[in-house]
Structure 1
């Protein structure tokens, strides 16, 4: 078993950006963690193939939480590879499926009422991005402490950024895939953008929780791999 970081380069507002989805390889079966923004399917496919793996072996997609940069291409993946098993927390699955209006959309609409005029255009664009996300049902709903992937991966509930956010702990590899529970900023682990945290106290507690696991490697969606 191993974890591979997938650096995905893209431009936003004229600036070069990266996200780092993770690919878990276990017994020739692939599990992708998070899917990037809308229309990122080909970018992620190319990175997987470039590393010598075949898309026909993609068995699972794990979604850490409902945000447009994490679930944007989920629908496209399921449409192209219908056999894929989609895994998410019980809480986040309700937003992914469209059963409930997402926390992020509620937050964005609430913020629109109080932000300065200079930020209104961006906020309206962001709200529309969230509304354009296509809903899809989750195949496997997980909870804190569940063991998946042949009992080699433990689900860690890490609420704060969103209420149903999960991270993934691999005791055998001494590694954690953090989602947005932690970001790597200049080789320091911090919580993701506090302005988007739904509960800053929970976010800080979740960061401490994954640090207390004392892994050797953190795979951060923002900032990339962080090794102690």
Structure 2
């Protein structure tokens, strides 16, 4: 049976209260963190982990669902603090995480800058500078679609592109739990596509939601929204229908 812990982290960003939910997986050999928040979130991660009696210095691995700034912002800092951590990401995401390719959000922000109204440009410039400041980090191991990682009772890599090219979700067969990353989010108690207007490929994102129906999911964890309360498969079907 998998032991997993939701690290609900509350913070302010852009003047608004937000919550993200990284996940800790643990067995007798490994402590695995899934995603790690914005830059400078190491103390927040440590506090959240300590609420479950877990120390960050026990981390052995860190799985990245995709390269957005709120998922990898503290990756390099964690690797510096705990150099023994093994960083794992999908093979398509690794070049973005390592800085070999420009982040998709940065490409989007730069490509739309010139058509913005003058009053919107200062904020856009600030956002571009923030994206440029995200520190890259090496990826120690790349994971392939449909691969089963052998830790914590087995972790299935579910390639769920759309939000980004190499976005992954993680399925824990022992507990029938899906860690969705940003494949889906919870908005007002319902499942939705994460920021559909900024998706790398919205149609692909919807196809990825359809792919989740192949799994027997009893518990669904969203990075934005936490643990979903409701009928998972019915809610996924309703989401797919909403984007037809």
TM-score using structure 2 length: 0.89
| Contact 1:31–1:59 (8 Å) recurs in 2 | yes
Alignment of 1:148-167 (within 5 A): 148-150=149-151, 152-167=154-169
Residue 15 of structure 2 corresponds to residue 14 of structure 1 = yes
Please report the RMSD computed on the Cα atoms of aligned residues, expressed in angstroms: 1.4
| Contact 1:190–1:207 (8 Å) recurs in 2 | no
Q: Report which stretch shifted further, 156-165 or 143-152.
A: 143-152
Task: Look up the match of 1:27.
Answer: 28
Task: Look up the match of 2:205.
Answer: 203
Alignment of 1:97-116 (within 5 A): 97-116=98-117
Residue 148 of structure 2 corresponds to residue 147 of structure 1 = yes
Q: Offset at 1:28? A: 5.0
TM-score using structure 1 length: 0.95
Alignment of 1:34-53 (within 5 A): 34-53=35-54
Gaps of 5+ in 1: none
Task: Look up the match of 1:3.
Answer: 4
Deviations 1:38-79 (A, max 9, x none): 001100111101210122321111111111100000011000
| Contact 1:85–1:140 (8 Å) recurs in 2 | yes
Deviations 1:1-25 (A, max 9, x none): 2221111011123221111111111
Q: Residue 9 of structure 1 aligns to a residue in which SS?
A: strand
Q: Offset at 1:84? A: 0.2
